Amino acid sequence: MQTRLNQLGFFVSPDSSYGSNTFHAVMAFQKFYGLGRDGVAGPRTLNHINLVGRPNARSTRGRVIEVDLNRQVVMLVEGGYVHHVFNTSTGDASHRTPRGSFKIFRQINGLRISPLGKLWRPKYFNGGIALHGSPSVPAYAASHGCVRLTDPEINFLWGTPWGRIGTTVWVY
């Protein structure tokens, strides 16, 4: 299952362990394909893994971080090809994540303690709204407007070309 998720672009290291990374990769898969969002690889999820191809992006050119608010996933896309898919939690009903095309303009390589909580390695793309690591990335929109990722996901993002200042972040 981990190998197949990895082949499809869902962020997981095939290590034969059902840890946090696998849980979030399964949840991202479930979110993307409209399955129950519980992070558990039950029969329906396992059957679906072998029926689908790699996710499709909306962008067709350039290097883009796509944030799909309806599905609650983040995709790292280049030239229309989805390289990686992450589970995310964006702004809740009171603090919606703004839609639009933005650019990463500021980042902090470490922990940022803000009045609204702790942000691990935030990458700001719209005012005080950032992609950042968090210990809480639930199955639903629960943030104050930021785009929450797991700490391993944001750490991975920092080491990729998508993590650079100036990268487009397309929220839709």
81 shares its domain with 42 = no
Q: Check if the beta carbon of residue 137 is closer than 8 Å to that of residue 64.
A: no
pLDDT higher than 90, residue 138? yes
39 shares its domain with 112 = no
Q: Check if the beta carbon of residue 67 is closer than 8 Å to that of residue 90.
A: yes
Catalytic residue among 24, 84, 132, 144: 132
How large is the C-alpha radius of gyration of the chain? 15
Residue at which a domain ends, from 26, 49, 72: 49
Q: Supply the range of the domain harboring residue 8.
A: 2-49
More confident residue, 5 or 117: 5
In a domain, 94, yes or no: yes
What CATH number is attached to the domain comprising 23? 1.10.101.10
Displacement of CA 49 from its chain's centroid (Å): 19
How buried is residue 94: exposed, middle or buried, by Cβ count under 10 Å (0-12/13-18/19+)? exposed
In a domain, 95, yes or no: yes
In sequence order, the 6+-apart residues with CB closer than 8 A to the CB of 18 are 41
Catalytic residue among 24, 84, 144, 146: 146
pLDDT for the residue numbered 51? 96
Q: Which two tokens stand for residue 11?
A: 């962020």
CB atoms within 10 A of CB 118: 13
pLDDT in tens, 7-57: 999 999 899 999 999 999 999 999 999 999 999 999 999 999 999 999 999
In sequence order, the 6+-apart residues with CB closer than 8 A to the CB of 159 are none
In a domain, 54, yes or no: no
- The CB-side HSE value for 167 (13 A sphere, CA atoms) comes to 24
Q: How many domains does the chain have?
A: 2
Q: Check if the beta carbon of residue 67 is closer than 8 Å to that of residue 76.
A: no
| 83 included as an active-site residue | no
Average pLDDT for 95-117: 96
pLDDT for the residue numbered 79? 98
152 shares its domain with 81 = yes
37 shares its domain with 75 = no
In a domain, 55, yes or no: no
139 shares its domain with 72 = yes
Residue 150's closest CA among 85, 100, 66, 102? 85
What CATH number is attached to the domain comprising 114? 2.40.440.10
In a domain, 57, yes or no: no
DSSP state of 45: H
Residue 116's pLDDT band (cuts 50, 70, 90): confident
Average pLDDT for 128-147: 97
30 shares its domain with 91 = no
pTM for this predicted structure: 0.96
| 132 included as an active-site residue | yes
85 shares its domain with 133 = yes
pLDDT for the residue numbered 115? 86
6 shares its domain with 80 = no
pLDDT in tens, 149-158: 999 999 999 9
